[in-house]
Amino acid sequence: MSRAKEPFDPCAGTETAFPGCYRPPLERLRFWNGRFLVARDLRDQQEDLIRRLEYHQSFGHGEGILCGFQVREHPREECRDRWIVVEPGMAYDCCGRTLWMPERRAVEIARPEEQKRAEADHHTEEERRRAEEEQHKAEQWQEWRQEQKPPEQKGPEQRPPEEKPPEKPPEPEKPPEPEWFVLACRVECATDPMPALYADDLCDPIRHEHGRLREDVAIRVVPAAEISDACWPRYRPVSDVDCTHPFEDDCHIPLGDTPPCEHRCACGECLVLAGVWRERETGRLRWDTTHRKVLAPPVNLTRITGVNWPHGGEVSLQELMHQRKGQLIVRFSRPLRHTDGFRTGINRMTFTAAFLGPTGAFEQIVPPEPEDLENGEPTPRLSPNRRCAIFDIPRNLLRGRIALVGTFIHVRLLCDFLIDCHGRAVSGAHIAGDANGRGSGNGVQGGVFESWFYLKAG
């Protein structure tokens, strides 16, 4: 007996579109005694479980590399101008599928004729676009000159001095643009052929079917023109966008709303491992892994494992000056990368200390200059082993006429900009107030580490 169709029937006319990944509805088998099972039923039972795992991974955790997949130079000198090596690794693609490559593989970076033609077409399109931009700029310049031209005056003809366009400030040095991209893509390989006892086609007396599907990873090299900026951002100078131009946004959506279920894959169904280019001087291959996606398990993130003061406790002035040498020290579970100016790493913007002033507000402690310190080193700074961040409190604030005795010292680290030796941000959220026991971290990269103590006399 068929079920009558209701005016609103949730099971009628279900059509769902998920661009980028094949997302069929979740559907499992219903068993009963006497049911006739065929191969399709057993395949669907497997695929239903696989789809549930993929949906959970894709929407709950995202895509990225879990471990490995490093790109290395080829061990042989004569092969380094055409070959690179990809280390074993494990990752999830945009659709939530597992990529597992247990062995290292050598990948050739060559220029076949098809790639040369694709690059030629891409360069031709780029040259045409640049010519149009130059022509448009020239027309704008001529219009501006006509507007600035003074009105004609009677009398002897005088030619006004030729006007020069305003000089633009020099742009920073542009990093090398990738010529190729190395991708890791999931593939299924049919293996284990065996004779089929039952053949759908009775005219085929001997038939073989593959008994297993092996999931494998294919390492592919594609021209740079095939990868969009949304997948791998290119170099961009400082933005000079016009703030009066209206842009589309989602500000009209209530805060309690949820994002759409459309899960578009900017990089397709493959993971981009590196952008590769060739050095003009040496001919060797070089690569960049800055923009590749990495999923760091919470247990594998770098954390703050200790500080040299009791969080929320008391420290005497003599103890801070003599035992701790007037230094605030923060320890990490891994070495950090060296400071990159004021962009990333331990510097005056990422590691700050403040004291509770007489006005009831926290006032920042200005770090002393290197010549004012006994060791002559800048502060804040990384220790030689890169496992500690050190902040030197000025001596005049410890034993001078205006001392910090009888106030709270507040320490703050911006861990979004503290990069560890693996290129991941430190998980710095300070939870439960146990900096010297539990340490920092809430399972995600970045965060702000905050701690304080009371500086007492004695």
Spans of the chain below 50 pLDDT: 1-19, 112, 114
Residue 7: what pLDDT? 42
Query: How does DSSP assign 150-185, residue by residue?
Result: PPP-SSS--PPPPP-PPPPPPPPPPPPPPSEEEEEE
Length of the chain: 458
- Boundaries of every domain in the chain: 64-111+178-233+262-288, 298-456
Residue-wise pLDDT tens digits, 19-36: 467 777 788 888 889 888
Which stretches within 170-281 are classed as H helix? none
Spatial contact of 370 and 378, defined as CB atoms under 8 Å apart: yes
Spatial contact of 92 and 98, defined as CB atoms under 8 Å apart: yes
- CATH architecture for the domain at 298-456: Sandwich (2.60)
Q: Is 258 exposed, middle or buried (0-12, 13-18, 19+ CB in 10 A)?
A: exposed
Residue 283: what pLDDT? 82
Residue 12: what pLDDT? 43
Q: Which two tokens stand for residue 41?
A: 């039923």
Of 443, 448, 391, nearest to 418 by C-alpha is 448
What contacts 306, CB < 8 A, 6 or more positions away? 330, 331, 435, 436, 439
Q: In what order do the strands lie in the sheet with 285-288?
A: 208-223, 180-195, 270-278, 285-288
Residue 2: what pLDDT? 41
Residue 253: what pLDDT? 67
Q: What are the backbone dihedrals phi and psi of residue 60, each rounded to the nearest 5 degrees, phi first?
A: -90, -30
β-pairing, 448-456 with 314-316?
A: parallel
Q: What is the mean pLDDT of the chain?
A: 79
Q: Which two tokens stand for residue 8?
A: 């609103």
Residue 9: what pLDDT? 45
Spatial contact of 86 and 289, defined as CB atoms under 8 Å apart: no
Residue 193: what pLDDT? 85
